[in-house]
A and B are shown apart, each in its own frame.
Chain A
Amino acid sequence: MELGKCAEARSVDCGEKAEEIGADHFQLGEEIRTLVSAPPDSGSSFTALLELPANQAVKLLHSPELEETPRAAELPPVFPACKLSVFLGAGNSPDTGSIPVKQEPTDSDSPPGNSSPLAADPMAVDGDRKLTKRKEREKKVKGPAKKSRTAAECEADGEKLPYVHVRARRGQATDSHSLAERARREKINARMKLLQELVPGCNKISGTAMVLDEIINHVQSLQRQVEFLSMRLAAVNPRIDINLDSLLAAENGSLLDSNFSGIIMPSMWPEGQFNVNRQQYPQVWHQPVWGREEGNPNFITPENSLLSYNSSANSGKSYFLILAN
């Protein structure tokens, strides 16, 4: 099937990234697939009709993986987008490298950092055609509309007659206010898409209000988790001081070697070893701060117990190794 082939072709480029990005890439992949499939159909007719310069059409067609977001948004907002895919994929630097590069040509079209209605006007003349193209593609990408307004406009003219679609747009396009509105709405839509991808379980929900609901729930749950964890950490303290001496004696090497490589073990910081480690790591740890460890609510044990451990050198270094991973 043509769609499948396109998807394959596309997924080859981002194959390496796909493994890292994982499940979230499936949604991206779907959108990429529809993106790739849609432009060849409508793109040629559009460029013929609208007499778009070819390079602009190409730019639009080969939009980065995060689709319409870059085109409408200013440069700074790209970073959350890049960072998102990076974050989801646990550190994929090529992604972030490619997206800002592609950003620049499209951003030069619209004056960067200017979200006022006036910004829409320079885009207006050639921009409204881009908008119509984008709208059509967006509609195909999103399928059942996420934003009722944009979908309602597209749906009537829709897939069957792109020419009619353009016509309707032209009639509207002369009004600068509606253009600006549309540009603004597009920006917001793009952002909402990103949010949807970030918040788990939001992809299937259509409708801004529901998505916002999910987002609010997610943020609230995260905040509650922070509260809960800080309470837990606060509660942990009294026992730690008592047990930590014996614990360190017994478990010093083994804990770090074993499955806790992903877990950060600040309790393994021996105070005495810090002078050694400071040379290895150019960090600013104030010496007096370390002297106050007795009152610390958390993990730093009294220094007399620590200095007696000769294996504590390893633990300090391995802590930094863990951090470095």
Chain B
Amino acid sequence: MHSPSQLKRDFLKQWLKGLQMCSYPKKEMSILERKKAIKLSADVAMASARNATSCWGLALIANASKEGNDKCLVEHLLGQESERGKMASTFQLAILHKKLRSKKIIKKSCSVRRVKKLTPRMVLASSVAKRLVKNRTKVLKSLVPGGESMDEFSLIKETLDYIVSLRVQVDVMRCLANASDLLNCKGVHG
């Protein structure tokens, strides 16, 4: 398992590689474009650094490669060999997603009947709690990439993973930003 510094290193390597590739096609980019490119390369770098273990990483890459203009970029970033792997995984993800969707539709149709039968006069605390938890898990699913096609258990695991990698990402980016700021200040004064 990666130690955090190892992860940081991997992430940084990938990210800087990606940044180089981002800048190549266009010489002049608006700030928003640049920001998008930076963020995208950071995300993809993060995802590929954690590639083997994370479902959210694959989902992230799949999402990123959906849109046309980013697609080539993502492919470049990942390299030729891994691209095939990603394609395979994206297909799997799509299939899984469809399966789960159909399952959920069936479940929902069943549960609707159940609700009608129960019609509780007294609202039990447990049912309220369950509803709250359900709402929260829905929100969490929307946050974590690829979260929709996951059951509760793996969702929690993916969240764990995702939080850790987000932290690494934030740390590295902050270091870079600080370093560049300091350089700028020194440059201004010196």
Interface residues of A (CB under 8 A from B): 76-77, 79-80, 82-84, 86-87, 90-91, 93, 96, 115, 148-149, 184, 187-188, 191-192, 194-195, 198-199, 207-209, 212-213, 215-216, 218-220, 222-223, 225-227, 229-237, 239-240, 242-244, 246-247, 250-251, 255, 260, 262-267, 283, 285, 289-290, 292-300, 323, 325
Contact = CB atoms under 8 A, between A and B. Distances in A.
Contacts of B19: 296-298
Interface residues of B, number: 71
B156 A195 contact: yes
A96 B132 CA distance: 35
Contact of B186 (A93, A198, A215, A247): A247
**A interface, over-half SS:** helix
B26 interface: yes
B186 A218 contact: no
B75 interface: no
A227 B39 CA distance: 7
B164 A246 contact: no
17 contacts: A79-B53, A83-B164, A187-B153, A188-B152, A198-B164, A215-B159, A218-B163, A223-B143, A226-B39, A226-B166, A227-B39, A251-B183, A267-B179, A295-B24, A295-B26, A298-B176, A299-B180
Contacts of B153: 115, 184, 187-188, 191
A93 B3 contact: yes
A111 to B, nearest CB: 16
B98 interface: no
A195 B184 contact: no
A212 B134 CA distance: 10
A251 B186 contact: yes
Contacts of A243: 183-184, 187-188
Nearest to A220: B143
Given A76-B53, A230-B35, A297-B37, A236 B184 contact: yes
Contact of A233 (B162, B176, B188): B176
Contacts of B186: 247, 250-251, 255
Contacts of A226: 39, 42-43, 166, 169-170, 173
B143 A219 contact: yes
A222 B165 CA distance: 10
Given A234-B31, A234-B38, A212 B162 contact: no
A191 B12 contact: no
Which 4 pairs of residues, A with B, have the shortest CB-CB distance? A243-B187, A212-B136, A209-B132, A234-B35
B13 interface: yes
B4 interface: yes
Contacts of B152: 188
A219 B183 contact: no
A302 to B, nearest CB: 13
Contacts of B104: none
B20 A86 contact: no
A267 B180 contact: yes
Contacts of A187: 153
Contacts of B17: 285, 289
Contacts of A195: 156, 159-160, 163
A208 B39 contact: no
B140 A219 contact: yes
B129 A91 contact: no
B38 A297 contact: yes
B87 interface: no
Contacts of B99: none
Contact of A263 (B125, B132, B175): B175
B9 A246 contact: no
B29 interface: yes
Nearest to B29: A297
B29 to A, nearest CB: 7
B2 interface: yes
A120 B139 CA distance: 30
Nearest to A223: B166
